[in-house]
């Protein structure tokens, strides 16, 4: 009888852990100051991880990004408005 209660308790804690992680993730994704930056981040995650792993924005300078982004936007065939939103996100990320 004791064993059953123990297993039940472990299963209960195990099932709770992923949920907590999810909540934390949602909270961080909504801390961007504007809707544009938040949208840009979404596009960055979705469009910029197709050919390579997502690059860390802070690993490159503003100077480097001014060459990389047009190049990558071309590779990803992004429309201008999406490129502009990603640019907003990159600019914000570099300053934060
Ligand atoms: C069609 C494929 C493709 C897509 C989509 C793509 N990239 Fe790339 N990217 C490459 C290739 C190929 C390289 C060079 C090899 C590497 O570094 O992995 C590269 C390299 C990079 C680098 C490193 C540049 C350097 O000088 O070291 C960055 C940063 C980068 N991509 C950012 C992005 C961003 C931001 C997006 C979304 C707008 C994006 N990529 C979308 C293909 C792509």
pLDDT for the residue 23? 46
* Residue whose CB lies within 8 A of the most ligand 1 atoms, among 41, 45, 75, for a mutation test: 75
Q: In this structure, what token pair is assigned to residue 81?
A: 């408005």
The rounded mean pLDDT for the chain is 83
C-alpha to C-alpha distances, 68 to 35, 41, 43, nearest whole angstrom: 24, 17, 16
Whether 13 shows a pLDDT value over 70: the answer reads: no
Q: Going by CA atoms, what residue is nearest to atom 1 of ligand 1?
A: 75
Nearest CA owner, ligand 1 atom 25: 68
């Amino acid at each position: 009888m004791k064993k059953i209660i123990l297993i039940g308790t472990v299963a209960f804690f195990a099932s709770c852990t992923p949920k907590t992680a999810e909540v934390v993730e949602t909270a961080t994704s909504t801390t961007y100051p504007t809707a544009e930056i938040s949208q840009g981040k979404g596009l960055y995650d979705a469009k910029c991880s197709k050919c390579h792993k997502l690059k860390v924005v802070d690993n490159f300078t503003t100077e480097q990004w001014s060459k990389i982004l047009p190049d990558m936007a071309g590779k990803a065939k992004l429309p201008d408005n999406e490129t502009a939103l990603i640019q907003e996100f990159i600019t914000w990320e570099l300053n934060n």
